Amino acid sequence: MPIQVLMPALSPTMEKGNLSKWLKKEGEAIKSGDVIAEIETDKATMEVEATDEGTLGKILIPEGTADVAVNTPIATILADGESAADLGKAAAPAAETKAAQSAPPAAAEAPPAVAAPQSVAEPDPEVPVGTEMVTQTIREALRDAMAEEMRRDGDVFIMGEEVAEYQGAYKVTQGLLQEFGARRVMDTPITEHGFAGIGVGAAMAGLKPIVEFMTFNFAMQAIDQIINSAAKTLYMSGGQMGCSIVFRGPNGAAARVAAQHSQDYSSWYSHIPGLKVVAPYSAADAKGLLKAAIRDPNPVIFLENEVLYGHSGEVPKLDDYIIPIGKARIARAGKDVSIIAWSNGMTYALKAADELAKEGIEAEVIDLRTLRPMDTDTIIASVKKTGRAVTVEEGWAQSGVGAEIAARIMEHAFDYLDAPVTRVSGKDVPMPYAANLEKLSLPSVAEVVQAAKSVCYR
Amino acid sequence: MAAPKKTAAKEQGQDRDNGPPPEFTREQELAALRDMLLIRRFEEKAGQLYGMGAIGGFCHLYIGQEAVVVGMQMALKPGDQVITGYRDHGHMLATGMDAKGVMAELTGRRGGYSKGKGGSMHMFSMEKNFFGGHGIVGAQVSLGTGLALANRYRGNDSVSVAYFGDGAANQGQVYESFNMAELWKLPVIYVIENNRYAMGTAVSRASAQTDFSKRGISFNIPGEQVDGMDVRAVKAAGEKAVAWCREGKGPFILEMQTYRYRGHSMSDPAKYRTREEVEKVRHDQDPIEQVRNRLLAAKVTEQDLKAIDADVRKIVNEAADFAQADPEPDVAELYTDVYR
């Protein structure tokens, strides 16, 4: 049966075009791939190639015709052994016209509303009475978490700059090379983009890499691989191929290292579906959450803080101390105002709570611990109790995590609020070097106290 | 621009055997013909479906470059991994992925390899060791190097093949990966598909060093220029590179000199080259015609070849029918597969 050639769409948006020129005449032989006509779209003149073989039987749309709608038959091709007498039987290529003309199955109708799944946070593990508590620095807690997971699972390895021979730029990987050898503790060249991509590739092949960035400032070189490759592949593959990987390192302001080495990426990564984002404050959480992150089948951004590395805390001496990702912690109970912070923001929040207590204000301090998925339930339960909320972050306010928390409180606890949610954040400037300006640019205990008093109308 | 110079490698002192490629057996010729024809007919059909609005967005066709993936695949063994960029339909078919699943992904239907969520540029098959399907130019080079890292970590003898174009060859992460691959002696073959145009920019307008086989020199990675229009030459070069990698000698670069007949994507008016240039390559170097002519000279009948073509067209037509009849993904799929 003769085959109809249809007016093709030649761009994602084309609906009609001008048939500017025929390059084959009726009766001429046509091979697959031959250019048979030229079509002018709103953007350019394009060539139409034949995809079938035979003879050009009849031109249905003469050259010079303007505004020919996509899918209009423009010519007929006769197959071997057919003649002009067969033209009447012309059919468009198989089932295609039908399908193209009728709307694709569900697209045209308004789809039924689909609710986004809510993440349900698991509670912290029970720490049995009498469990021995070990005082550790956060640095040691992180090291122990990695060592324990590497002992447990041969697919876990660490790669990054100075993680092996040098024992870690911030000594977080101290001793790992000695215990696990160079195969599993790999020094990389200073090529964040490249080694992040290599780590993601290894994860796609089923390994569980821990990729250390000397600081998250340098991970900007690698952010394409983190977002476009690690975070999106599970979805793009329809669930077929995931990426179990941890990207970790110090995030946020250090001290006197100026704008390019002092930035908080909390909100950047928490924006991305497909990533989990963890930012612990205490030593116990650092250990329990890093172990959870390494075991998680998804890509996890693990934001540490250089200022906190040397801080000590009590860590339960348990064989397998895992803090579930996605669960906030009430660090201090109170009834008058909820202060929500994470990572080093907790330093300001807890000190502010002490100050506020002296003035008779009982602040409830929530350590968010995980930024994505965010434990909205804990925040909302607290705000329903206190009626007031203050967020604390070192990052900039615009599109920050505090802005997200404020929006969620408005969505879920608007009627419970006795005052507008107030944000304490880094100031809207690149980090200055001078000691006095640097201090001014960061949140302070005084600012948190001020904000809390303000929402309490005191 | 001149056709790919077959003597270029020799002039530039590269390690290359300039003799004619080893002959194929009749079975190999027939297999190569069939595999290349499947890709060509599939791509022609995809172009047609795009023209009818059944395929949306970007659609990058592989027509003209078929010998590269087919020849390389003939040099690999099960367990070896393949990763590429967004001009990926040919690679998927060559690794044995089902034409129906690929076409249904192009039309965004639930029977597609990614359940309709990936599209033309994002398909994967763990079963066939095909790792995508990546839309950011050059990203697959680091990822493919990571696949090789995993192979070395596990101590198996699998090799990964990272395909990328002459355009991607200028990206920074390619060289970061080259450095680490050689430093750690990773079993990865970098196949640079030099089809002479990065979108609309000719190689000579974008590359200071247009001999891509030399791009690994500063890392001590050996490289060869290969006639990427001759499937026999591709297979021979692939086997050499595979052997190098399996012996633990580190990465290998193959510059495949090839040509893309169609535009960069479907909406490319192709004003950066002449129609005569395209016609000349098609006429003189077409990878499928080369095999056909050799088979005809070896007394395979035109009738036999037509039967192969008919068989391939049937597969492609069935894939196209399936891809249009299959339903779109269930709306409940919107929120699945974000996390495991």
Q: What is the distance in angstroms between the Cα of A356 and the nearest Cα belonging to chain B?
A: 40
Residue B10: per-residue pLDDT: 40
Cβ(B180)–Cβ(A198) below 8 Å = yes
Which residues of chain B neighbour A203 with C-beta distances below 8 Å? 146
Whether B338 has its CB under 8 Å from any CB of chain A: the answer is yes
Cβ(A253)–Cβ(A425) below 8 Å = no
User: A242: nearest CA in chain B?
Assistant: B340
Interhelix angle A283-295/A138-152, rounded to 10 degrees, is 30
Element (DSSP H or E) covering residue A49: strand A45-49
* Contact across the interface for A239 and B146, Cβ inside 8 Å: no
What is the rounded CA–CA span in Å between residue B319 and residue B147?
30
Which residues of chain B neighbour A196 with C-beta distances below 8 Å? 142
What is the rounded CA–CA span in Å between residue A34 and residue A57?
15
Q: Which of A100, A200, A297 shows the shortest C-beta gap to B340?
A: A297
Task: Give backbone dihedrals phi and psi of A162, rounded to 5 degrees, phi first.
Answer: 65, 25
What is the rounded CA–CA span in Å between residue A353 and residue A280?
19
The pLDDT tens digits of the residues spanning B228-253 come to 999 999 999 999 999 999 999 999 99
Which residues of chain B neighbour A116 with C-beta distances below 8 Å? 335
The pLDDT tens digits of the residues spanning B198-209 come to 999 999 999 999
Q: What is the distance in angstroms between the Cα of A339 and the nearest Cα belonging to chain B?
A: 29
Which bin fits A358, alpha (ψ -120 to 50), beta or left (φ > 0)? alpha
Q: Which of A105, A191, A236 shows the shortest C-beta gap to B328?
A: A105
Whether B92 has its CB under 8 Å from any CB of chain A: the answer is no
Residue B76: per-residue pLDDT: 98
Greatest extent of chain B over all pairs of C-alpha atoms, in Å:
59
Give contacts of B 265-284 with A, CB under 8 A: 266-267, 269-271, 275, 282
Name the β-bridge partners of A46: A39
Give the number of other CB atoms < 10 A from CB of residue B146.
36
- Is residue A261 annotated as a catalytic residue, yes or no? yes
Q: Which of A93, A104, A236 shows the shortest C-beta gap to B117?
A: A236
Whether B48 has its CB under 8 Å from any CB of chain A: the answer is yes
Give the number of other CB atoms < 10 A from CB of residue B193.
30
SS3 readout for B131-150: EEECCCCCHHHHHHHHHHHH
Element (DSSP H or E) covering residue A289: helix A283-295
What is the rounded CA–CA span in Å between residue B312 and residue B35?
9
Q: What is the distance in angstroms between the Cα of B19 and the nearest Cα belonging to chain A?
A: 32
What is the rounded CA–CA span in Å between residue A118 and residue A121?
9
What is the rounded CA–CA span in Å between residue A449 and residue B248?
62
Name which of B105, B75, B74 is nearest B89 in CA terms: B105
What is the rounded CA–CA span in Å between residue A93 and residue B313?
12
Whether B155 has its CB under 8 Å from any CB of chain A: the answer is no
Catalytic-labelled residue, pool A148, A161, A192, A364: A192
The pLDDT tens digits of the residues spanning B247-293 come to 999 999 999 999 999 988 888 888 899 989 999 999 999 999 999 99
Which residues of chain A neighbour B148 with C-beta distances below 8 Å? 201
Task: Give backbone dihedrals phi and psi of A178, rounded to 5 degrees, phi first.
Answer: -65, -40
Whether B258 has its CB under 8 Å from any CB of chain A: the answer is no
Name which of B175, B194, B71, B91 is nearest B133 in CA terms: B91
Q: Is A428 helix (H, G, I), strand (E, B) or coil?
A: coil
User: A12: nearest CA in chain B?
Assistant: B57
Cβ(A316)–Cβ(A284) below 8 Å = yes
Higher pLDDT, residue B304 or A123: B304
| For chain B, percent of residues with pLDDT exceeding 90 | 91
User: A114: nearest CA in chain B?
Assistant: B332
Name which of A413, A372, A410, A368 is nearest A391 in CA terms: A368
Residue A92: per-residue pLDDT: 53
Task: Give backbone dihedrals phi and psi of A55, rounded to 5 degrees, phi first.
Answer: -125, 140
User: A156: nearest CA in chain B?
Assistant: B153
Name the β-bridge partners of A339: A365, A390
User: B56: nearest CA in chain A?
Assistant: A12
Whether B176 has its CB under 8 Å from any CB of chain A: the answer is yes
Q: Which of B54, B139, B338 shows the shortest C-beta gap to A224?
A: B139
* Torsional sign, CA B314, B317, B319, B322: negative
Cβ(B122)–Cβ(B114) below 8 Å = yes
What is the rounded CA–CA span in Å between residue B23 and residue B297?
13
What is the rounded CA–CA span in Å between residue B141 and residue A285?
36
Q: Which of B47, B151, B321 shows the shortest C-beta gap to A94?
A: B321
The pLDDT tens digits of the residues spanning B314-334 come to 999 999 999 999 999 999 999
Whether B47 has its CB under 8 Å from any CB of chain A: the answer is yes
* Contact across the interface for B83 and A239, Cβ inside 8 Å: no
Name which of A254, A256, A307, A252 is nearest A434 in CA terms: A256
Report the amino acid identity of residue B210: T
Q: Which of B52, B332, B334 shows the shortest C-beta gap to A96?
A: B52
Residue B84: per-residue pLDDT: 98
In this predicted structure, the answer to whether residue B337 has a pLDDT above a threshold of 60 is yes
User: In the structure encoding, which two tokens stand for residue A395, read together?
Assistant: 């990052």
Rg (CA), chain A: 31
Cβ(A96)–Cβ(A117) below 8 Å = no
What is the rounded CA–CA span in Å between residue B253 and residue B192?
7
* Contact across the interface for B267 and A10, Cβ inside 8 Å: yes
* Contact across the interface for B325 and A106, Cβ inside 8 Å: no
Residue A99: per-residue pLDDT: 42
User: A40: nearest CA in chain B?
Assistant: B269
Which residues of chain B neighbour A71 with C-beta distances below 8 Å? 52-53
Tally of residues, chain B? 340
* Contact across the interface for B53 and A10, Cβ inside 8 Å: no
* Contact across the interface for B142 and A201, Cβ inside 8 Å: yes
Cβ(B36)–Cβ(B10) below 8 Å = no
Task: Give backbone dihedrals phi and psi of B185, rounded to 5 degrees, phi first.
Answer: 50, 50
Residue B35: per-residue pLDDT: 98
The pLDDT tens digits of the residues spanning B27-41 come to 999 999 999 999 999
Which bin fits B222, alpha (ψ -120 to 50), beta or left (φ > 0)? beta
Interface test with B, best of A34, A188, A235 (most B CBs within 10 A): A235
- Is residue A192 annotated as a catalytic residue, yes or no? yes
What is the rounded CA–CA span in Å between residue A342 and residue A305?
11
Give the number of other CB atoms < 10 A from CB of residue B1.
11
Interhelix angle B287-297/B302-325, rounded to 10 degrees, is 140
Name the β-bridge partners of A424: A392
Name the β-bridge partners of A38: A21, A47
Cβ(B217)–Cβ(B223) below 8 Å = yes
In this predicted structure, the answer to whether residue B165 has a pLDDT above a threshold of 80 is yes
What is the rounded CA–CA span in Å between residue B113 and residue B216?
34
Which residues of chain B neighbour A33 with C-beta distances below 8 Å? 44, 63, 261, 282
Residue B6: per-residue pLDDT: 42
Quote the pTM value. 0.90
What is the rounded CA–CA span in Å between residue A341 and residue A281?
9
What is the rounded CA–CA span in Å between residue B290 and residue B67?
10
Q: What secondary structure letter does DSSP report for A229? A: I
Q: What is the distance in angstroms between the Cα of A89 and the nearest Cα belonging to chain B?
A: 20
What is the rounded CA–CA span in Å between residue A152 and residue A290?
14
What is the rounded CA–CA span in Å between residue A264 and residue A251?
6
What is the rounded CA–CA span in Å between residue B44 and residue B292?
19
User: In the structure encoding, which two tokens stand for residue A82, read together?
Assistant: 């057919």
Tally of residues, chain A? 458
Q: What is the pairing mode between strands A370-372 and A276-278?
A: antiparallel
* Contact across the interface for A99 and B112, Cβ inside 8 Å: no
Catalytic-labelled residue, pool A193, A261, A271, A412: A261
Q: Output the tens digit of pLDDT for each of chain A's 458 residues.
A: 788 888 888 877 788 889 989 999 998 988 877 888 988 887 777 888 887 788 898 999 999 999 998 889 999 989 877 877 777 666 555 444 444 444 444 444 555 667 888 877 788 888 888 999 999 999 999 999 999 999 999 999 999 999 999 999 999 999 999 999 999 999 999 999 999 999 999 999 999 999 999 999 999 999 999 999 999 999 999 999 999 999 999 999 998 999 999 999 999 999 999 999 999 999 999 999 999 999 999 999 999 999 999 999 999 999 899 999 999 999 999 999 999 999 999 999 999 999 999 999 999 999 999 999 999 999 999 999 999 999 999 999 999 999 999 999 999 999 999 999 999 999 999 999 999 999 999 999 999 999 999 999 99
Q: What secondary structure letter does DSSP report for B125? A: B
Interface test with B, best of A102, A156, A198 (most B CBs within 10 A): A198
Residue A120: per-residue pLDDT: 76
SS3 readout for A120-149: CCCCCCCCCCCCCEEEEEHHHHHHHHHHHH
